[in-house]
Structure 1
Amino acid sequence: MSLPIDQQTVLVTGAGRGLGAAIAAAFAREGAAVAVNYRNSRDEAEALASRLGDRAAAFRADVRDGEAVSRMMADVTTRFGAPTTIVHNALADFSFNGDARSRLEAMAWEEIAAHMETGVKGALNLIKAAVPKMRERGFGRIVLIGTNLFQNPVVPYHDYTAAKAALLSLTRTAAAELGPSGITVNMVSGGLLRTTDASRATPDVVFDLIAGSTPLRRVTTPDEMADAALFFASPWSRAVTGQNLVVDGGLVFN
């Protein structure tokens, strides 16, 4: 079974700004009903939903809180119907500034745990809340946002990268378990994006270095990442699950 995007309800976490906002806008452009999840960025999320039209609305929930995620899922279902696609983009508070990153000898476990809580626990909470309705329908799409840094740690963000690597493992084990129910689970992994709130602190020289290292000679944009997320929700990916699609202009060959 597959559903065209314009017949779907899509929940995007961390969608008030940055990459999440670009993903929400891409799905709205293709005709989906879009739930714009946010934790703190209420004004940005509501403004985005307003721009996207009547088939979009903002929903607050901290993805680390399973009960809050369940309430959000119920609210989205009441408004638009049960989500057919979940895109988990939410990120713990973080700035991609290599000069300010924690080195291993000074790193506290809590820094890694913060990313695990949002990335991996958040994904688990979303899956637990969304999968029952997906099983009933015999259709579901779960798209998790990863990184190319665990293949090419040009800047060793130990905390962020460790959590994303764990999320890739969950992508594959969840795909194996949920596949018989018609639910696919895939990951879209970008490199440094130009530009999001998280990457705004990155020096221009780093962007230039990355651009010069890619076959396309440019840095990937949030809109380009968003289009890859569309693929995994579309009928064209109906036989694809457990995969990690790297979208970084060819910087990393997967």
Structure 2
Amino acid sequence: MTRPALPLDEQIVVVTGGARGLGAAISRAFAGQGARVVVDFHSSQEAAEALAAEYDDRVIALQADVRDRAAVEALVATAASHFGSPVTTVVNNALVDFAFNGDARAKADEIGYGDFAAQFEGSIEGPLNLIQAARAGMAEAGFGRIINVGTNLFQHPVVPYHDYTAAKAALLSLTRTFADDLGPSGITVNMVSGGLLRTTDASAATPEAVFDAIGAATPLRAVTTPEQLADATLFFASPWARGVTGQNLIVDGGLVKG
């Protein structure tokens, strides 16, 4: 049975790659609204534990490679045990080994399928593992929120991030098909898609001139921050979005339309 939407301060949220960059901004955004948050990390243990320490026992840091199904299932079970209730909300943010520097990326005549496969493991296998691990608890509660992090490069492929963009395009497809499949259980599935963010670990290699050019071309005349994108994840998790599923919200200051 589908139940009324939970307010943010009653949700238990898993943020993958939640210790650094955009993930850290998302973790802090949910924690700031009173949610109980699991900061998932792969190798950034020190950063994850430091972030968790800012919020006492409402935030915990747990290690899991999202590509490892057993590790993800253990993380979800540990979260439910720690907080005394199943996970209600997942944010699939983890990014596998990628740097946003167009000059350093392989062009169309150079890139191999192995590059695509690696990104699919992070952007498709990872979210699939977490969604399936959390689904039963969400279905039992009649409430669930799944938020996938995408990119505006679907509409504006101006840099040769071929493998990254293909994987995120597949994640958008998963978002829409899972929204239909899981909707009857009271689970919504949506995507937030940013552009270049100023600044995360992944975008640190981006030349300053690129940031300036994108900012100048944006209606808000500024490059989007991780905190601004994190705000959109709160919307999809909140009761205000209770009637929204299968959608992709672009958060890039108006650079890309539609």
The alignment's TM-score, normalised by the length of structure 1, stands at: 0.99
Alignment of 1:55-70 (within 5 A): 55-70=58-73
Aligned match of 1:175: 179
Aligned match of 2:76: 73
What SS class does the counterpart of residue 63 from structure 1 fall into?
coil
Deviation at 1:151, TM superposition (A): 0.7
* Cα distance in structure 1, aligned partners of 2:15 and 2:133: 14
Task: Choose from 91, 95, 111 the match for 2:95.
Answer: 91
Aligned match of 1:227: 231
> Are the aligned partners of 1:175 and 1:185 in contact in 2 as well (CA < 8 Å)?
yes
Alignment of 1:15-164 (within 5 A): 15-80=18-83, 81-164=85-168
* Cα distance in structure 2, aligned partners of 1:115 and 1:160: 6
What SS class does the counterpart of residue 104 from structure 1 fall into?
coil
* Cα distance in structure 2, aligned partners of 1:186 and 1:61: 23
Aligned match of 1:199: 203
> Are the aligned partners of 2:21 and 2:226 in contact in 1 as well (CA < 8 Å)?
yes
> Are the aligned partners of 1:11 and 1:36 in contact in 2 as well (CA < 8 Å)?
yes
Deviation at 1:147, TM superposition (A): 0.1
Deviation at 1:104, TM superposition (A): 1.5
Aligned length: 254
Deviation at 1:127, TM superposition (A): 1.0
Q: CA RMSD in A?
A: 0.6
* Cα distance in structure 1, aligned partners of 2:118 and 2:16: 16
* Cα distance in structure 1, aligned partners of 2:55 and 2:19: 12
Which amino acid is the alignment partner of residue 134 of structure 1? M
Which amino acid is the alignment partner of residue 106 of structure 2? S
* Cα distance in structure 2, aligned partners of 1:9 and 1:56: 10
Deviation at 1:105, TM superposition (A): 1.1
What SS class does the counterpart of residue 156 from structure 2 fall into?
coil
> Are the aligned partners of 2:146 and 2:189 in contact in 1 as well (CA < 8 Å)?
yes
Aligned match of 1:214: 218
> Are the aligned partners of 2:106 and 2:160 in contact in 1 as well (CA < 8 Å)?
no
Aligned match of 1:190: 194
Aligned match of 1:249: 253
What SS class does the counterpart of residue 245 from structure 1 fall into?
strand
* Cα distance in structure 2, aligned partners of 1:219 and 1:63: 29
Which amino acid is the alignment partner of residue 56 of structure 2? G
* Cα distance in structure 1, aligned partners of 2:153 and 2:77: 35
* Cα distance in structure 1, aligned partners of 2:52 and 2:115: 32
* Cα distance in structure 2, aligned partners of 1:184 and 1:53: 29
Which amino acid is the alignment partner of residue 226 of structure 2? P
* Cα distance in structure 1, aligned partners of 2:220 and 2:33: 26
Deviation at 1:52, TM superposition (A): 2.5
Deviation at 1:108, TM superposition (A): 1.2
* Cα distance in structure 2, aligned partners of 1:60 and 1:169: 28
Deviations 1:31-71 (A, max 9, x none): 00000000011111111111132200100000001111001
Structure 1 gap segments, 5+ residues each: none
> Are the aligned partners of 1:25 and 1:52 in contact in 2 as well (CA < 8 Å)?
no
Structure 2 gap segments, 5+ residues each: none
> Are the aligned partners of 1:22 and 1:223 in contact in 2 as well (CA < 8 Å)?
yes
